[in-house]
């Protein structure tokens, strides 16, 4: 196993030299990564196909393309993000000037997951580089081909003192978490997120935790069912449902359930053909453990669409379940697979009150052609982020923060939000030489009237 103490010490020494701080250097590092991605596009797409069975189109749409967009965004704006920001100064401090100065945290650890193994490794790395940090990157062992491809990419682009890749499994994760990093960025399950946070607490290391949860989708009575079925099916079955912000389940007015389920079935056939298991556009489940877990969840309720699987290819048909109760196993955990329970409600206000009692999810989606009900849901329910009349695509906008709340995570990524996540915002006040002695003792004879006006 790598000597992680030496690795971290080497990065800290390099960071302390000031080599990563100039914005020109940060931009050069981002350009190196951009050029490396272009040179290795074919190898990266092949690795994603090997690990997850992704078509080249889906792999580019959800991984490579999003990374490139993030790089373009950072290269255009990093100079502005890194610039000190002037803020107002109270009259009591006259004459003075106040600034907020972003500075890099230092040596960062990025622990990435297997479901989007390229995007969810490189997007936080882009934020770290833009902020001026060094980074130790640990891809998931569950996506070994992509882990190797990412290691080859980053080793070709960067000195290990700047960006280092560690491959391996749980033993390597545990050993890395014993080290003293200046910042930790983790993407994965809530259970492992607790472990990461506990490890970080030993050194009082700040963390960003991008976790998950059961993200609901709500259909209002006035929703466009054709549009909703199409966009929900796309968001749910993308990457075979192995998406942290996938619609986990759908709440539908009881009288619309059958019509909506029928339209979901039509959308599935339109996307994946009459035999989805043979479709080149249907990815596979990451491993046997998760394949078996998902097959067990399919026993909940009644199968209305799909329900088939192929254990040799680890593919599961896009599946819609009805007659599901919240006591069923499929509603007891984040599904993270191509299984969509459809639940019904009679009372909209009652549904919202019920959802407010649930853990706060990473995402929430509302479909409505009106404004009142949709706004009521979006502004009274607490969740990480979401969409009105669509699913998932909010995370493709680099101007929006992405992250969870409560059990679905903490911290933000993408664009300037990611830059700030890897930065300490240092407050500075520059006081000029003109000195007003009223603050100094002795205070006898000084009235409070002027002081109250200044403060």
Q: What is the pLDDT of residues 301-349, one digit of tens each?
A: 999 999 999 999 999 999 999 999 999 999 999 999 999 999 999 999 9
448 burial via Cβ count (<10 Å: 0-12, 13-18, 19+): exposed
Sequence-distant (≥ 6) Cβ neighbours of residue 349 within 8 angstroms? none
- pLDDT exceeds cutoff 70 at 1: no
Q: In the numeric block, which tokens belong to residue 326?
A: 């919240």
**Is 227 or 91 the better-scoring residue by pLDDT?**
227
- HSE, CB side, 13 Å, CA atoms: give it for residue 275: 2
Q: Decide if pLDDT at 421 tops 80.
A: yes
Beta strands in 88-130 (DSSP E): 96-104, 107-111
Structure tokens at 325: 């109760």
Report yes or no: 173 and 183 within 8 Å, Cβ to Cβ.
no
Q: What's the pLDDT tens digit per position in 243-270?
A: 999 999 999 999 999 999 999 999 999 9
pLDDT at position 448: 77
Does the pLDDT of residue 10 top 70, yes or no? yes
Catalytic residue, chosen from 133, 157, 220, 244, is 244
- 244 among known catalytic residues: yes
**Calpha distance 77→415 (Å, rounded):** 9
pLDDT at 284 over 70: yes
For residue 235, give the nearest of 449, 390, 47 by alpha carbon: 390
The residues, any chain, with a CB within 8 Å of residue 208's CB and separated by 6 or more, are 124, 183, 184, 185, 186, 403, 409, 410, 411, 412, 413, 421
Q: Is 346 a catalytic residue?
A: no
Closest CA to 182 of 70, 101, 79, 103: 103
Helix (H, G, I), strand (E, B), or coil: what is residue 22? coil
| Segment 196-205 mean pLDDT | 96
12-66 per-position pLDDT tens digit: 999 999 999 999 999 999 999 999 999 999 999 999 999 999 999 999 999 999 9
pLDDT tier, 453 (very low <50, low <70, confident <90, very high otherwise):
confident
Q: Which residue has the tokens 């389940």?
A: 249
Give the model's pLDDT for residue 215.
97
C-beta separation of 7 from 149 below 8 A: no
Contact present, 387 and 73 (Cβ < 8 Å): no
- Mean pLDDT in residue range 372-389: 95
Q: pLDDT digit string (tens) for 117-170? A: 999 999 999 999 999 999 999 999 999 999 999 999 999 999 999 999 999 999
pLDDT of residue 400: 93
What's the Cα-to-Cα distance from 445 to each of 93, 200, 244, 438, 448, rounded to whole Å? 21, 52, 65, 11, 10
| Set 58, 179, 210, 317: catalytic member | 210
* pLDDT (mean) for 180-185: 98
Of 181, 188, 103, nearest in space to 422 by CA = 103
Q: What is the pLDDT of residue 2?
A: 80
Q: What is the percent of the chain where pLDDT is above 90?
A: 92
């Amino acid at each position: 196993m790598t000597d992680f103490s030496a690795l971290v010490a080497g990065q800290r020494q390099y960071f302390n030299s000031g080599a990563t701080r100039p914005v020109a250097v940060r931009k050069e590092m981002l350009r190196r990564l951009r050029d490396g991605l272009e040179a290795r596009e074919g190898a990266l797409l092949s690795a994603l196909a090997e690990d997850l069975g992704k078509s080249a189109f889906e792999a580019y749409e959800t991984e490579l393309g999003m990374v490139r967009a993030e790089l373009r965004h950072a290269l255009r704006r990093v100079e502005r993000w890194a610039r000190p920001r002037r803020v107002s100064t109270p009259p009591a401090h006259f004459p003075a000037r106040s600034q907020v100065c972003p500075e890099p945290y230092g040596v960062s650890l990025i622990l990435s997951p297997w479901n989007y193994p390229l995007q969810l490794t490189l997007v936080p790395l882009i934020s770290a580089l833009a902020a001026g940090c060094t980074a130790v990157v640990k891809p998931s062992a569950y996506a070994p081909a992509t882990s190797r491809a990412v290691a080859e990419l980053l080793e070709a682009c960067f000195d290990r003192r700047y960006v280092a890749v560690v491959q391996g499994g749980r033993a390597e994760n545990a050993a890395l978490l014993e080290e003293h990093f200046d910042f930790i960025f983790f993407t994965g399950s809530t259970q492992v997120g607790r472990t990461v946070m506990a490890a970080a607490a030993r050194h009082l290391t700040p963390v960003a935790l991008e976790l998950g949860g059961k993200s609901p989708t709500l259909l209002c009575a006035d929703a466009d069912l054709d549009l909703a079925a199409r966009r929900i099916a796309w968001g749910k079955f993308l990457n075979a449902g192995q998406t942290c912000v996938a619609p986990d389940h759908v709440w539908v007015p009881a009288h619309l359930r059958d019509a909506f389920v029928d339209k979901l079935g039509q959308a599935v056939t339109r996307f994946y053909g009459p035999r989805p298991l043979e479709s080149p556009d249907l990815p596979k489940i990451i491993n046997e453990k998760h394949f078996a877990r998902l097959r067990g969840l399919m026993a909940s309720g009644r199968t209305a669409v799909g329900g088939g699987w192929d254990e040799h290819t680890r593919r599961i048909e896009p599946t819609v379940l009805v007659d599901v109760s919240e006591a069923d196993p499929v509603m007891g955990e984040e599904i993270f697979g191509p299984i969509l329970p459809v639940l019904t409600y009679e009372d909209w206000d009652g549904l919202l009150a019920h959802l407010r009692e649930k853990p706060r999810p990473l995402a929430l989606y509302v479909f409505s052609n009106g404004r009142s009900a949709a706004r009521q849901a979006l502004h009274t329910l607490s969740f990480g982020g979401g969409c009105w009349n669509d699913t998932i695509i909010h995370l493709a906008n680099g101007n929006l923060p992405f992250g969870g709340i409560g059990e679905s995570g903490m911290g933000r990524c993408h664009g300037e939000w990611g830059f700030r996540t890897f930065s300490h915002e240092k407050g500075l006040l520059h006081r000029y030489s003109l000195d007003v002695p009223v603050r100094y003792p002795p205070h006898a004879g000084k009235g409070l009237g002027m002081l109250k006006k200044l403060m």
